[in-house]
A and B are shown apart, each in its own frame.
Chain A
Amino acid sequence: MSVTPEKKAPGVRVSGLSVVYRTPTGELPAISGIDLDLVPGTITGVVGESGSGKSTLALSLLNAVQSPGRISAGSVEIDGLGDVVKLRGEELRKARGRHIGYVFQAAQNSLNPLKTVGKQLLDLGRSHDVADLRGLVREAKDLLGRMGMDGARVLDSHQHELSGGMRQRVGIMFALVLNAHLVVLDEPTTALDMITQATILRIVREVHEERGLTTLVITHDLGVVAEVADRLAVMYGGQVVEQGPTMEVLGAPRHPYTQGLLRAIPRLVGDIDEARALPGRPPTLGTIPERGCVFRDRCVLRMDVCETEKPPVVSLGASIALCHAVEAAADRDGRADIPPAGGLQEVVGAQGATGVHEVRGEQP
């Protein structure tokens, strides 16, 4: 299948997006007021802990949030499709698959156990009015082959005859086979071992480049985004608290959560004690604070204003953080650029002490 010019990598602009879930105690927000741009042709990684709202965000891009949830505010503008939040019925169904390929979380278990992979592929083709079903099968075999599998054998197999890693790759094949140019992968390598994970990430990267895609990879594993993503969005309590180019966010994280998360990663080399657990635990649907900063219960830089005021959006260089302390530091220094590498040590170094002043004290 050749790439038609109008199907080149689309840009995506998520603005003010909120999703609520109905619960016995009323409708509660799972994500609130998210702004996020997917730059055409890039891989964006969304990272965050369990319950931070990653899957909810991914589903929103397809307008596929299911009851008891609903998109309560905001828009998702996709080049060539318009605002998908407004799409309905047949239009929406066609957009999924053709324009937006996706692999849902737990794709390992999302295949139909009663049908072979090949049968499910033909079903998919028919439901999208693919005229050339043989071409579709050829394409699928091709993709599976690229991912190191015997395509013909896989198409003849049932789900239970495939290992976890094989199923993940079958999921990715389904996301790509209709030649969509926006691809959403929710936890594509979770529960896989390192070697299989590395293989899958390499394939994601290769196919992304070859086909000129815009890709969103969702994961709870910072290592995964660090490996594949050009840009990184860090979620906490239903918000994107920091985003920017991967190298910048990891090399000089601004938001106290990003800093804490990076510090909590068990490291392969160096001093074991450099890694520290982040105190406290992530909020859940009912415990996300309504006012102020969602991270304040665990934040060592917390100030009074964090209790009551929504954190401001602070742009620094190419990255953005939502945090009062980051704003205070930026104002004070009167500069909007990124401090040199070592930003992590500067701010984290101050965390043992009480607050923002130490941050200043350590800056050149």
Chain B
Amino acid sequence: MITGKNITKTFRQRGSVLAGREVRALRGVDFAIEKGGAASFIGESGCGKTTLGRIIAGLETHDSGEITIDGTPMSPLKPRQREPYFRRIQLIHQDPYSALNPTRTIHQTLDAPLALRARQTRRPRSWVDERAEELLALVGLDPAYVLPRYPHQLSGGMRQRVVIARALTVDPDMLVADEAVSMIDVSLRLGILGLLKDLRERLGVSVLFITHDVATARYIGDDGELYVIYRGQVVERGHVETIISDPVHPYTQSLLSAIPVLHGLEQPGEQPVVPTEALDESHHDAGCLFARRCPFRTERCESELPVLGRAEGTPQEHACFHPERRSVVATPIGRG
């Protein structure tokens, strides 16, 4: 179990035009992911998803707040003491093309971390090859075919599976999958999603899933939690099915309304929400972070910041003064 309390992170930009500008990438985010659980982060580009994922994987520091892994708070620990905790959280990069060393065969790629693991756990050298084959079979690949090959000889879907197998060499408790399927061909995408779901169910690995594509979040498990993030703040949070079918926050509704409709197969939702303006991270308002773009803002929204909380009548948490259910998602034709 990993939890985060009030995580904040601010970046200072360099660059000529933007020099000195501060980006509040995370503004006090809370999260909790159970063992074997699934959480998905969705939101527009730049809202802080990757930053949060990297902090959770121990690859980025945060400014304040506390991360607790299996009951142990991380902040009092020295970096060396934290290391074993974070090693059990593996990040899967979005791009299976650059994640693997092109000059090494898959055998070589898996051998190094497994040999280290064998030394740490005092296993015989012969275990390494066995384990490599086991892991490849686990991610649905044929070891005999894959092991002698170089990454460029494999399809994108196969490469992404190899990347996942490599992450599994350290027996992780959690995988952080940052846009792990976006670069994969549509016909292969479901296979990877099914694999992540499988790893949860069979090995109890938790999955943190970061994506632009809300629909894919359903496929790593319908028991998952969805976090909708806007400019570093979680604005809606709840069961993935609830948020998709009954979103109450106008920002969530904008995200869902923007999903392309498969005309001919689907009809658009009845009350689509379109932001009145494009995202501009630089503006600073006292009120709701979404107010400038929100079609439903009132005076209150411009002066007061809504905080995430559970309101009466909705199963999910949200940060909006005027939550209202809207039917924004496209539905299959003929089934209403």
Contact = CB atoms under 8 A, between A and B. Distances in A.
B186 A265 contact: yes
A114 to B, nearest CB: 13
Interface of A: 49-50, 148-149, 157-158, 160-161, 163-165, 191-199, 201, 220-224, 226-227, 246-251, 260-262, 264-270, 272, 275-278, 281-282, 284, 341, 344
B265 A268 contact: no
Interface in B230-255: 244-245, 254-255
A106 to B, nearest CB: 13
Nearest to B16: A161
A267 B45 contact: no
Contact of B278 (A199, A201, A227, A281): A199
Given A193-B44, A281-B155, A247 B264 contact: yes
A249 B215 contact: no
A248 B265 CA distance: 10
Contacts of A49: 185-187
17 contacts: A50-B156, A50-B185, A160-B15, A163-B46, A194-B44, A194-B212, A248-B264, A250-B263, A251-B265, A265-B186, A266-B218, A267-B215, A268-B214, A268-B215, A272-B218, A275-B219, A281-B155
Contact of A161 (B17, B222, B261, B265): B17
Nearest to A249: B264
Interface string B180-194: 001001111111011
A195 B258 contact: yes
The residue in A191, A221, A266, A268 that gathers the most chain B C-beta atoms within 10 A of its C-beta is A268
Interface residues of B, number: 56
B15 A266 contact: no
B145 to A, nearest CB: 12
B197 to A, nearest CB: 10
A248 to B, nearest CB: 7
Contacts of B193: 266
Contacts of A192: 45
Contact of B264 (A195, A199, A251, A281): A251
Contacts, number: 148
Contacts of B182: 191
B51 interface: no
Contacts of B279: 195
A195 B185 contact: no
Nearest to A265: B186
Nearest to A158: B16
A198 B258 contact: yes
Contacts of A227: 260-261, 263
A161 B16 CA distance: 8
Contacts of B259: 194, 223, 268
B265 A250 contact: yes
A195 B254 contact: yes
Interchain residue pairs A-B with the least CB separation, the first 8: A223-B260, A250-B264, A251-B264, A278-B187, A198-B258, A277-B190, A194-B258, A227-B260
Contacts of B264: 226, 246-251
B99 interface: no
B263 A161 contact: no
Contacts of B332: 267, 269-270
By CB atoms of chain A within 10 A, which of B215, B254, B264 has the most? B264
B59 interface: no
B213 A266 contact: yes
A79 B194 CA distance: 48
Contacts of A250: 262-265
